[in-house]
Amino acid sequence: MKKTTDLVAANTNGYIMPHIDPNKEYTDMEGIDPKFPRISLPNAGATQFKFADSDGMEQSSKSEFEAIILVSKPYRAYYKNAYNPAADTTPDCRSFDGKTGEGNPGGSCKRCPLNQFGENKAGKPCKEKRSLMLLCADSTWPYRMTLPTGSINAYNAFAIGLMSKGKSINDVVAKFFITPTTSKSGKQYSKISISIARDLTEKEHEQTVKMREQTLALLNRIEDEE
């Protein structure tokens, strides 16, 4: 019989549900800044997701994967200078809720001039994104994936499609894959596509609800400290 700790509870469907109390003080974690491993989308029309640990070290690449969406939050980021993903630079201004910016200029996102389209419907200087917390099969810690502006419509269509069926993003296992796309200006980029892999079992759903609350609380705590 598999032994289960107070932090991890395994089920029979391949998904491992950590039980983490974000308010509990784990004495062996003192001085350690909790981070999430990441999944990133490829650039320039490539088709492989990159999986990296919490320190940014690449672990593997996959053309598609399945995961439970635990948390989905709007996110905005503004870089005064051109964004360089290799530099891991903090945005000049960012919003963890899509409503209030932190940094320069900060304040209300709705009224911010950087959140307005430029001439000829040019893109907004402040980019709308979406932050997802994903639990992959056989993973004991959620992955964090940020959807770029070009993938927001695909995510919205997925969420609305579920809603039309009386479901939410927390009711299913989602399948993620990449669709190479060309912009109106002729620039190639990688757009995410999302579909339903299957419905969660009753037991998985029960555990997912608990883990969503725990993950969201921990995520909010980390964002407050960033």
The residue type at 137? A
Whether the pLDDT of residue 22 is over 60: the answer is: no
Within-domain flag for 121: no
Cα separation of 194 and 178, whole Å? Answer: 9
Q: How sure is the predictor about 187, in pLDDT bands with cuts at 50, 70 and 90?
A: confident
Of 55 and 69, the one with more pLDDT = 69
Whether the pLDDT of residue 198 is over 60: the answer is: yes
Whether the pLDDT of residue 4 is over 50: the answer is: no
What pLDDT score does 17 carry? Answer: 60
Question: Can you tell me the mean pLDDT for 73-102?
Answer: 84
DSSP 223: H
pTM reported for the whole predicted model: 0.79
Listed in order, strand segments (DSSP E) in the chain are 8-10, 16-18, 38-40, 49-52, 58-62, 64-78, 93-95, 100-103, 107-108, 127-136, 143-147, 172-182, 188-199
Question: Can you tell me the mean pLDDT for 182-204?
Answer: 84
Question: Can you tell me the mean pLDDT for 140-168?
Answer: 92
SS3 110: coil
Whether the pLDDT of residue 2 is over 50: the answer is: no
Within-domain flag for 97: no
Within-domain flag for 216: yes
Percent of the chain exceeding pLDDT 70 equals 78
Domain that holds residue 139: 8-20+37-75+134-225
Q: How many domains does the chain have?
A: 1
Question: Can you tell me the mean pLDDT for 77-90?
Answer: 76
Cα separation of 76 and 181, whole Å? Answer: 23
Cα separation of 109 and 61, whole Å? Answer: 35
Whether the pLDDT of residue 65 is over 90: the answer is: yes
Q: How sure is the predictor about 203, in pLDDT bands with cuts at 50, 70 and 90?
A: confident
CA atoms within 13 A on the CB side of 103: 17
Within-domain flag for 199: yes
Within-domain flag for 80: no
What pLDDT score does 15 carry? Answer: 67
- The CA-atom distances, in angstroms, between 89 and each of 7, 79, 85, 94, 120 are 33, 9, 7, 12, 29
